[in-house]
């Protein structure tokens, strides 16, 4: 287990090192046992290891009597929506999301389409570790069927959302450049855009699994998209990671807005139509608080990770929520970070207000967020808290997830990553120098 990272709702590792077919078969059988049979939706991103992973996972699942519906190479939110629509016992997304190409992972989805909670994931892990899986005899082995319509159904559901005026978007015939990193969103994202009447310029939309850039859709990885937007004079550029749950936006002048802007714009759009509580994780920009305050709505902060955000959204009956890494969750569609719904909100905002992306972004609260990391995997919560207290004795503290120190208009957050062997340090302030300085102070002490 050393080189496997087990997170809230899944397991990830480097293929051929921690993550082998043997491990995947055992996780498949453990998940089948956990679900106690029924149907399981399986889908994946485009990584070269994906087919091997899929075959191993499916073998494990059917060996416990589960039937499998394979939805192919699709975005993770499409898998989650298929679980909900087909009313299956659960689902598995085979994707390492924003991690580099040598990684892969299993993300486990429960009935209803949300990722397993921490408690549910712990029960699955117990079954995996104990190896007490329920195998069936030859006559009861599960069936395997392919379903290639999950993307079409997902797009139909986005187009059917009552908060989006599809005709108004279509009338504008937006020019859109899209970079899917040759990942799992490569077919679905351009297809949604075309169905919204956009003229689409596709960059890296071959689901080959050969990533031409780092899959994380952060500004430093989007230079090709920025150039394309300028060259073809597109109205907007969109980028996503390898599995389509994180969305980044490039403006009409070719400027990456930063992944924090995606949720900020979505919150702004939705609250104007559906006032209600907002949920974001503790690492997400303060811009969300400022926007919610304009509409007189509260912001609830959760731990980092989709499962935690979703739990808080259900508890607070939030109308919109997500994570600052570009993950937009709109419960009227489903409880999943969904880049497709994020793109639809951006286009609907443009069409509704008749403005450009630069103008739209100009209306967002101005903060600078700096995200750094340090190799300090053995750091405990107590050590992180001690470091923060000695470095920043005058702030107020939030220990929801790691340690967050806050002042009136700035904050710094330190936590051990759930997906990589690092400590994440994120700081935000009105001035970039101040945010960088707060990160440096923490890094020195780690
Ligand atoms: Mg992802």
Q: Is residue 351 within 8 Å of residue 172, measured between CB atoms?
A: yes
Give yes or no: residues 88 and 216 share one domain: no
Q: How far is the CA of 244 from the centre of ligand 1 (A)?
A: 6
Give yes or no: residues 122 and 196 share one domain: no
What pLDDT was estimated at residue 376? Answer: 74
Give yes or no: residues 226 and 314 share one domain: yes
What pLDDT was estimated at residue 1? Answer: 43
Give yes or no: residues 352 and 383 share one domain: no
Q: How far is the CA of 409 from the centre of ligand 1 (A)?
A: 29
Last residue of a domain, one of 148, 179, 197: 148
Distance between the two ends of the chain, CA-based, in angstroms? 26
Q: How far is the CA of 259 from the centre of ligand 1 (A)?
A: 12
**Sign (positive or negative) of CA dihedral 232, 238, 239, 244:** negative
What pLDDT was estimated at residue 6? Answer: 77
Last residue of a domain, one of 148, 179, 213: 148
Give yes or no: residues 260 and 335 share one domain: yes
Last residue of a domain, one of 362, 396, 424: 362
Give yes or no: residues 203 and 338 share one domain: yes
Domain of 321, in residue numbers: 153-362
Q: Low-confidence residues of the chain, pLDDT below 50? A: 1-2
**φ, ψ (nearest 5 deg) of residue 221:** -100, 5
Give yes or no: residues 333 and 374 share one domain: no
- Per the structure, the count of domains in the chain is 3
Q: How far is the CA of 243 from the centre of ligand 1 (A)?
A: 5
Q: Which CATH number characterizes residue 433's domain?
A: 3.30.310.50
HSE-up of 440 (CA within 13 Å, CB side)? 6
Which token pair is 219?
A: 């500004």
Active-site residue, 390 included: no
Q: How far is the CA of 242 from the centre of ligand 1 (A)?
A: 6
Give yes or no: residues 358 and 372 share one domain: no
Give yes or no: residues 352 and 395 share one domain: no
What pLDDT was estimated at residue 380? Answer: 83
What pLDDT was estimated at residue 377? Answer: 65
**Sign (positive or negative) of CA dihedral 109, 114, 115, 116:** negative
Q: Which CATH number characterizes residue 175's domain?
A: 3.40.120.10
Give yes or no: residues 341 and 202 share one domain: yes
Give yes or no: residues 248 and 128 share one domain: no
Which token pair is 310?
A: 């979703």
Give yes or no: residues 382 and 289 share one domain: no
Q: Of 97, 226, 283, 285, which residue is the catalytic one?
A: 97
What pLDDT was estimated at residue 8? Answer: 64
- Which residues, in sequence order, are bridge partners of residue 177? 201, 237
């Amino acid at each position: 287990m050393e080189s496997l990272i087990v997170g809230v709702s899944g397991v990830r590792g480097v293929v051929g090192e921690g993550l082998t077919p043997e491990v995947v078969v055992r996780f498949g059988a453990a998940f089948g046992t956990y679900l106690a049979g029924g149907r399981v939706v399986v889908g994946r991103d485009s990584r070269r290891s994906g087919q091997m992973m899929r075959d191993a996972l499916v073998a494990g699942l059917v060996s416990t009597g589960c039937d499998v519906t394979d939805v192919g190479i699709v975005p993770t939110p499409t898998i989650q929506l298929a679980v909900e629509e087909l009313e299956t016992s659960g689902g598995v997304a085979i994707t390492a999301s924003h991690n580099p190409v040598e990684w892969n992972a299993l993300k486990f989805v429960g009935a209803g389409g949300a990722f397993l909670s921490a408690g549910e994931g712990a029960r699955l892990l117990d079954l995996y570790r104990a190896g007490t899986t329920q195998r069936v005899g030859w006559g009861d082995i599960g069936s395997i069927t392919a379903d290639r319509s999950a993307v079409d159904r997902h797009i139909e559901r986005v187009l059917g959302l009552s908060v989006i005026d599809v005709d108004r978007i279509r009338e504008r015939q937006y020019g859109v450049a899209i970079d899917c990193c040759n990942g799992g969103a490569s077919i679905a994202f351009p297809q949604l855009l075309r169905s919204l009447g956009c003229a689409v310029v596709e960059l890296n939309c071959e689901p080959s699994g050969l990533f031409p850039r780092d899959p994380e859709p952060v500004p430093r990885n989007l230079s090709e998209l920025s150039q394309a937007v300028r060259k073809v004079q597109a109205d907007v550029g969109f980028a996503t990671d390898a599995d389509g749950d994180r969305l980044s936006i490039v403006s009409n002048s070719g400027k990456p807005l930063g992944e924090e802007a995606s949720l900020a714009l979505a919150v702004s759009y939705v609250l104007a139509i559906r006032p209600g509580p907002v949920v974001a994780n503790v690492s997400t920009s303060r811009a969300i608080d400022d926007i919610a305050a304009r509409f007189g709505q509260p912001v609830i902060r959760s731990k980092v990770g989709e499962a935690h955000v979703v739990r808080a959204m259900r508890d607070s009956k939030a109308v919109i929520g997500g994570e600052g890494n570009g993950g937009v969750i709109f419960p009227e569609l489903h409880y999943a970070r969904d880049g497709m719904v994020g793109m639809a909100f951006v286009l609907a905002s443009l069409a509704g207000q008749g403005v450009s992306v630069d103008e739209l972004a100009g209306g967002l609260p101005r903060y600078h967020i700096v995200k750094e990391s340090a190799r300090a995997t053995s750091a405990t919560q107590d050590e992180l808290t001690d470091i923060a207290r000695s470095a920043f004795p005058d702030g107020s503290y939030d220990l929801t997830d790691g340690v967050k120190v806050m002042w009136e208009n700035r904050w710094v957050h330190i936590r051990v990553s759930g997906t990589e062997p690092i400590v994440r340090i994120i700081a935000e302030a009105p001035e970039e120098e101040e945010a960088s300085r707060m990160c440096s102070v923490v890094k020195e002490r780690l």
